[in-house]
Amino acid sequence: MVSRDWTVDEQDQLIADAFERDEPQLRSFIRKRVMDLGDAEDVLQNMFYELTETCRMMKPVEQVTAWLYRVSRMGAAHGRSLGVDGP
């Protein structure tokens, strides 16, 4: 969980931990929905960018993994808004 009391270093660690823990499964999840490898990578990168921005804006993320899957689903479904073609 991210709160107003967390330092930038602690936020960075939360993001790094989430990336290390969740990236392989999220990559596979996205690849099943976005056929082009480059586009799938764009969705994955955008998802972690969104997590970073959310942390920096001090918005709480209670369940990071669930939040990441929700953002990746939206990214794949709304790929055109990200410059990515969905399935």
pLDDT, tens digit (0-9, with 9 covering 90-100), for 51-84: 888 888 877 777 888 888 888 888 777 654 444 4
Query: Which candidate, 20, 22, 19, 2, places its Cα nearest to that of 10?
Result: 2
- Start-end of H helices in 32-83: 37-56, 64-77
pTM beyond 0.85: no
3-class secondary-structure state, position 33:
coil
* Residue pair 84/33 in contact by the 8 Å Cβ criterion: no
Query: What is the fold, at CATH topology level, of the domain defined by 8-82?
Result: Rna Polymerase Sigma Factor; Chain: A (1.10.1740)
pLDDT of 87 higher than 50: no
